[in-house]
Structure 1
Amino acid sequence: MASGANRRAAAAARHRLLPAGRVAGPMPWIIAIMMFLTILSAAAGLGLGAAVRSMSADLAGRASVQVVEANAEARDGLAARTLQLLRGAQGVRSADPVDPALLADQLRPWLGDAATSGDLPVPALIDVTLTPGEADAKVDRVRRLLVGLSPKLRIEPHATFLQPLAGLLSALGWLAAGVVALMILATGAVTVLAARGAHDSHRGTIDVLHLMGSTDVQIARLFQRRIGLDAFLGSALGFAFAILVIMVIGLRLSAMGSDLLGAVTLDMLSWVLLALLPVLGVVLAMLTARWTVLRALGRSL
């Protein structure tokens, strides 16, 4: 009889530490907000990293040759000779002239009708694709060939123009990674505060459990389960809203039709990493709660 009463008393004490169906309190909502921001920051970092890699792959070995000649007839003749030279040069995979009409359309927003009037000496452009490997050395080799043909020929690697943009995207990606790290630390700090608060508010219940023969590890496991439940609910809620926002942003970026913005995408590995973040958040909260409560119980003895 006495043992049955002790078990019922211990069960009641455990129920006070871990009430059934508990979804109230600020803890799940705080975790939800942090997980929401963590997922968004991680998605931004992964997407920007994919954009930088895609940009680097597209621009590697790409260059433009400018035929800077004021006389239109001389410019066309020099462009034809340059094109023939490039197509036979070692290390050049392809060389294609840029349509003057397309170039004029690109210049019209800045130059107006002067871009198509023919009075403005617009350089002829040739798009060059180099063979893979050692792009800088091949650009230098082509540059020497062009200088030998005419001093009015210039070659500019595409990566040179977009290198500052790639650096900016990389910096933003690292900033997003830093935000994720800060959110992880903040989640751990919130869990510590919640575990300490729960421990302090249930001292009487803890004493009852100790009298019933419960060990510190068993008591810490109860707090771990309680905070783990809060972390699971909050992480699931924050993850769901973050994925919804990411999908909406992805649809808007796709609708814009920009090649650069379209490169900000998430592959399958990125989605797997995002899905692991809530799991890691729950594990972090449970381990932190267990460590905090065990430390608090050790000091109270």
Structure 2
Amino acid sequence: MAAPLPPVPVDNRSASAARNRLLPEGRVAGPMPWVIAIMMFLTVLAAAAGLGLGAGVRAMGADLAGRATVQIVEADQLARDRLAVSVAGALRGMPDVRRAMPVDQRALADQLRPWLGDEAVSRDLPVPALIDVDLTPGNADAKVAALRGVLGKISTKARIEPHAAFLQPLSALLASLGWLAVGLVLLMAVATAAVVVLAARAALDSHRGTIDVLHLMGATDVQIARLFQRRIALDALLGGVAGFCAAMLVILALGGRLEATGSDLLRVIGLPWAAWGLLLLLPVGGVLLAMLAARLTILRALSRAL
């Protein structure tokens, strides 16, 4: 029977050096931080787009849900003016109406002048009289239907249209784009995890000899995985912060452009304070995702190698 082999002396300095050589020790170790920076840049932009569009849809819906316009379609101007005064008075006496204000004809002509020219102010042009109506809070559709019935009894030439009906296709488009942005964020998260998995496997294969030495020195799979996890977490943090800062610059620049347009429709697409907080959590989530993906990948690979 052969004599047992003597125990292998463990040199703590050698073990420490082996651990330090397990992964590159530079501030930017290989291409992974740059790839994560690009992923984080796109993720933050997609998340900001989704949050901004969602806030815009909610603001648009809240602003337009209780508003409507009454049109007085009458070719004769005197009859149109009398009917407009009568309808406005009737609307002000209804419990579902909070405010009924006739639109000034000169203001309406200024709105039409870019398309109709000076003919927009001509008395011969039968421009309908308009009355802006603000409804009381509640079921706007039911109230508009009730007002339509009342106006039909006053005159068949008085028509009411809710503002939300005009912008419903646009609101649906913005909502669809918001969900598309959410899908892109999820895809970016999956792509980031895939990049971390590939980087962890590549590092594991390139340092297989060092890992065998660490096993001989008594290191467990969890301890080895922790080395990969710490190195990849640092790379993910550097790349995530770089991508986040670049995305913030782009978001602020685009926000300034939207404000410069002077369009009330575009201004509703903005980021509330809660959305900024969610964006700040993305780099933290990216680091946690990278750490989890690296840990699971290394532990699974080491368990299969045994």
TM-score band by shorter chain is over 0.9
Distance in 2 (alpha carbons) for counterparts of 1:229 and 1:125? 63
Distance in 1 (alpha carbons) for counterparts of 2:162 and 2:275? 31
Tell me, what secondary structure is at the counterpart of 1:266?
Answer: coil
After TM superposition, the structure 1 = structure 2 runs for residues 35-54 of structure 1, keeping only pairs within 5 Å, are 35-54=40-59
Q: Percent identity?
A: 68
Query: Gaps spanning 5+ residues in structure 2: where?
Result: 1-6
Distance in 2 (alpha carbons) for counterparts of 1:227 and 1:118? 75
Q: Which residue of 2 aligns with 1:105?
A: 110
What is the CA distance between 1:142 and its match in structure 2? 1.0
After TM superposition, the structure 1 = structure 2 runs for residues 138-153 of structure 1, keeping only pairs within 5 Å, are 138-153=143-158
Q: Taking structure 1 as the reference length, what is the TM-score of the superposition?
A: 0.97
Q: Which residue of 2 aligns with 1:204?
A: 209
Q: Which residue of 1 aligns with 2:247?
A: 242
Shift in CA distance, 255/3, structure 1 to aligned 2, threshold 3 Å: farther
Q: What RMSD in Å do the two structures reach over aligned CA positions?
A: 1.3
- Tell me how many residue pairs correspond in the alignment: 300
Residue 228 of structure 1 is aligned with which of 229, 233, 244? 233
Q: Which residue of 2 aligns with 1:75?
A: 80
CA contact (8 A) 1:65 1:125 kept: yes
What is the CA distance between 1:90 and its match in structure 2? 2.0
Greater than 6 Å deviation, 4+ residue runs: none
Q: Which residue of 2 aligns with 1:281?
A: 286
Shift in CA distance, 135/127, structure 1 to aligned 2, threshold 3 Å: same
Residues 169-204 of structure 1, C-alpha deviations (whole Å, 9 max, x = no match): 000000000000000000011111000000000001
Residues 130-153 of structure 1, C-alpha deviations (whole Å, 9 max, x = no match): 110011111111111111111101
Tell me, what secondary structure is at the counterpart of 2:130?
Answer: strand
Q: Which residue of 1 aligns with 2:169?
A: 164
Letter in 2 for 1:178: G
CA contact (8 A) 1:18 1:225 kept: no
Q: Which residue of 2 aligns with 1:14?
A: 19
What is the CA distance between 1:113 and its match in structure 2? 2.2
Distance in 1 (alpha carbons) for counterparts of 2:98 and 2:145? 15
CA contact (8 A) 2:226 2:295 kept: yes
What is the CA distance between 1:65 and its match in structure 2? 0.2
Query: Gaps spanning 5+ residues in structure 1: where?
Result: none
Q: Which residue of 2 aligns with 1:66?
A: 71
Once the two structures are overlaid, the 10-residue window that deviates more, 12-21 or 151-160, is 12-21
CA contact (8 A) 2:109 2:120 kept: yes
Residue 262 of structure 2 is aligned with which of 243, 257, 260? 257
Q: Which residue of 1 aligns with 2:126?
A: 121
Distance in 2 (alpha carbons) for counterparts of 1:224 and 1:126? 66
What is the CA distance between 1:3 and its match in structure 2? 9.1
Once the two structures are overlaid, the 10-residue window that deviates more, 2-11 or 22-31, is 2-11
Residue 200 of structure 2 is aligned with which of 195, 198, 204? 195
What is the CA distance between 1:157 and its match in structure 2? 0.4
Residue 131 in 1 paired to residue 136 in 2?
A: yes
Q: Which residue of 2 aligns with 1:95?
A: 100
Residues 94-115 of structure 1, C-alpha deviations (whole Å, 9 max, x = no match): 1000111111121222222221
Distance in 1 (alpha carbons) for counterparts of 2:27 and 2:82? 81
Residues 221-266 of structure 1, C-alpha deviations (whole Å, 9 max, x = no match): 0011111111010000000000111111111111111111111111
Letter in 1 for 2:31: P
What is the CA distance between 1:268 and its match in structure 2? 1.3
Tell me, what secondary structure is at the counterpart of 2:11?
Answer: helix
Q: Taking structure 2 as the reference length, what is the TM-score of the superposition?
A: 0.95
Residue 269 in 1 paired to residue 294 in 2?
A: no
Tell me, what secondary structure is at the counterpart of 1:113?
Answer: helix
Distance in 2 (alpha carbons) for counterparts of 1:106 and 1:241? 41
Q: Which residue of 2 aligns with 1:290?
A: 295
CA contact (8 A) 1:17 1:226 kept: no
Once the two structures are overlaid, the 10-residue window that deviates more, 152-161 or 131-140, is 131-140
Letter in 2 for 1:120: L
CA contact (8 A) 1:98 1:126 kept: yes
CA contact (8 A) 1:67 1:75 kept: yes
Residue 214 in 1 paired to residue 223 in 2?
A: no
Tell me, what secondary structure is at the counterpart of 1:112?
Answer: helix
Distance in 2 (alpha carbons) for counterparts of 1:81 and 1:245? 53
CA contact (8 A) 1:188 1:288 kept: yes
